Amino acid sequence: MMITPKAAFMVPYRISKPYSLRSFLLVCLIIGLFLHIRTYLFQVLSSEAAYISNTVTASHPIEKLILQNHRKHQAFVNRQSKTPEEAIKAYRKRYSRDPPPGFSKWVRYALAHNSSVIDDYDMIEERISPFRSISPFDLNRRVKAWQEAADAFETVRIRDGKFVDCGEQFKNSIEDIVDQLPDMDILLNWLDEPRIVGYDHLRDSNKATMEDFASKDAWEILSGKCNFSSQKNKVKRDTGKVQYVENPADALDICLHPEARNQHGFFSSPSNFRATRNVIPFFSTTSMSTMADLLTPGLDYVDWHYIGDAKTVDSKNYTDKKPQMYWKGWSTGSWFTETAWKRNHRIRFVEKFGNNSMFNIGFSRYVQCDGFCEKLQELVGLVPIDPPTTGFEYKFAMDLDGNGYSGRYYRLLLSNCLVFKQTMFEQWHDDRLVPWVHYIPVSLGMEELESALDYFAHDDKGIKYGEQIAMGGQAWAKKALRPIDMTIYTYRLLLEYAALFEGGAERRAE
C-alpha cells in the first residue's frame, strides 16, 4: 500500500516497536526530499531566469515578447551540459563532427569556474565555419599575407604552452590557460572597427589588399553581398502598429535593412575603417552581418576605466529612480562632415529625443569633427559633463554604438537600471544575452523607442516588468559576463581556431 506523506507522519505512532526505527528513517527521508524540492523550487523561482510566470496573459505586444524570450532563456539555461561526456555528445549532435582536440579539458575548466554556458557557442561556429573549407596551407599563406600588408594589429604567438609575443591585455585574459593551448599565431585587431569584409574565399591567398574608408561612404562595400531587390529578403512591416525588435539577429542583418545606410555613422563616414575583401582569419572585438572577422571579447568592458570601481557602484533602488532615460556622451561613431553628420546614429538619437521630457540626453564633448565641431555644438547643443554615477539616478539607461562597441554596456547591465541597447555590431556575447529578458533592444530607426519607454514608465504591468528585467539583466551579467567567462569563451575559440591548421589530423575530444 502506498503511504501518503500525511499517513507517513502517523506511522511511528501506530506500528509495532520492531519497525519504529525503519519507519522513523522513512519519515525523515520523505521530509528531507520535501525540503530539498521546496528549496530547489524556491531557488529556481527566485532566480533571474524565472522571475516571469509562464502563465501570465500578455495584454501588450511587449509582454508577449517578454514571455516568449523568458521561455527561450529558461530553455537555454536548462539544456547546458553538466559533464564533459554530455558536452561531447551535445557538440556532436549540434555540429555533426567531433569536438577539437583539448575539448574535454576545456569543459572541465568551464565547469570548474561555474560557467553558465557550456554548449551554446554558435557565434564561434558561425564565424569559424567559412574557414573550414580553406586548407591549412592556404590559411597560413593568408596569415603571412596579412602580416606583410596590414597595420594596426598585433600577432600573438604561442609556442609550447607559452607566450612568445603578446600584448599585455590579451595576455592577462588567457594567461591562466595558455599552457593548455596548441602552438598558434593569432592576428589581433587594434582598431575599434572590424576589418574583414571577405567577399570571396577563393581570392588570391598570397595577398591582403587594404582599402581605407576613413571618412568615406562605406555602404557599398559593406552591403555588396546583399540583394535588396529580392522579395525574399524584404522585411514585412505593418505601418499601422509599433514594431518592436523581436529578433536582434534580424535587426543586425544589413541585408534586411537597406534603410540603415542613412542611419549609422559606420556606413556613411566611418572614423577609421581599414578593410580587406580577402578572407583572412583575423580576430576583432566586433563585426557586422556581412563581414568575416573572428569575434573575441572586448576586454575594455571589464577594465576599471569602463566598469568602474567601488565608488561608482549603483546603490540606488530601481523603484527610487527617476522614470526617465539617461544618456550623455561624446560624438563618436563617425567622422563628421557637413554632408554626413546627420546620418550619425548618436546625432540622430539626440536630435530625435533631446527635447522630449522623458529623456535626459546630450553631447558632453564633440570629437572627430575637425573644423566642424563648433558648428555641431551650435546645431545640436552641448551639455555639462556629469559625474560617473549621475546616470544611476534614472531608471532607463541608453547604450549606443561608438566607433565600435560601447564600453559602458556591461557597467550598465550590472547597475540597477533597465538597459536599452541599440547596435549594428555583432559581438561575442550575442549568444547569451536575451532581449526582453536581460535588456531592451532598440531598432536603428528608433521608431518604437518612445512607445517602449512609455510602457515601462507608466503602465502598471510595465513598471513591474521593467524592474524585473533590470534585475534579471544584472543577475545574469554577474553569472555570464564575468572576466572568467571571457577567458572560457576565448579558450574554446582558440581550440576551434587551432584545429583549422591541423591539416586533416584525426579529431579527438581529449
* Nearest of 438, 433, 189 to residue 298 by alpha carbon: 189
pLDDT at 78: 98
Burial classification of residue 59, based on how many CB atoms lie within 10 Å of its CB (0-12 exposed, 13-18 middle, 19 or more buried)? exposed
pLDDT digit string (tens) for the chain, length 510 residues: 443 343 333 333 333 344 455 665 565 565 555 544 444 333 333 444 444 554 456 789 999 999 999 999 999 999 999 999 999 999 999 999 999 999 999 999 999 999 999 999 999 999 999 999 899 999 999 999 999 999 999 999 999 999 999 999 999 999 999 999 999 999 999 999 999 998 765 556 678 999 999 999 999 999 999 998 764 545 455 567 899 999 999 999 999 999 999 999 999 999 999 999 999 999 999 999 999 999 999 999 999 889 988 888 999 999 999 999 999 999 999 999 998 999 999 999 999 999 999 999 999 999 999 889 999 999 999 999 999 999 999 999 999 999 999 999 999 999 999 999 999 999 999 999 999 999 999 999 999 999 999 999 999 999 999 999 999 999 999 999 999 999 999 999 999 999 999 854 334 444
Supply the pLDDT for residue 61: 96
The per-residue pLDDT for 265 is 97
Distance CA 76, CA 480 (A): 12
DSSP conformation letters of 161-205 = TEEEE--HHHHHHHTTTGGGSPSEEEEEE-SSS--B----TTS-T
Q: How many CA atoms lie within 13 A of 246 on its CB side?
A: 8
Q: For position 66, what pLDDT does the model report?
A: 98
Specify the pLDDT at position 230. 65
Alpha helices in 359-459 (DSSP H): 373-380, 409-413, 449-458
Question: Residue ranges of the alpha helices (H) in 283-421?
Answer: 304-307, 345-353, 373-380, 409-413
Helix (H, G, I), strand (E, B) or coil at 330: strand
Give the residue extent of every domain in the chain. 306-488
The residues, any chain, with a CB within 8 Å of residue 213's CB and separated by 6 or more, are: 221, 270, 273, 274, 275
Question: Which pLDDT belongs to residue 190?
Answer: 96
| Spatial contact of 497 and 184, defined as CB atoms under 8 Å apart | yes
**Widest CA span of the chain, in angstroms?**
98
Residue 44 has a pLDDT of 38
Q: Are 415 and 474 in contact (CB under 8 A)?
A: yes
Q: What local confidence, expressed as pLDDT, does residue 361 receive?
A: 98
Taking CA atoms, 110 is separated from 37, 121, 365, 496, in Å, by: 27, 13, 42, 16
DSSP assignment of 120-177 equals --HHHHHHHGGGGGS-HHHHHHHHHHHHHH--SEEEEEEETTEEEE--HHHHHHHTTT
What is the distance between the alpha carbons of residues 407 and 377, in angstroms, rounded to a whole number? Answer: 24
Q: How many residues can be counted in the chain? A: 510
Distance CA 161, CA 18 (A): 65
3 state SS for 214-275: CCCCCHHHHCCCCCCCCHHHCCCCCCCCCCCCCCHHHHHCHHHCHHHHHCCHHHHCCCCCEE
Q: Supply the CATH classification number for the domain 306-488.
A: 3.40.50
- The identity of residue 399, as a single letter, is D
Instruction: Provide the pLDDT for residue 33.
Output: 56
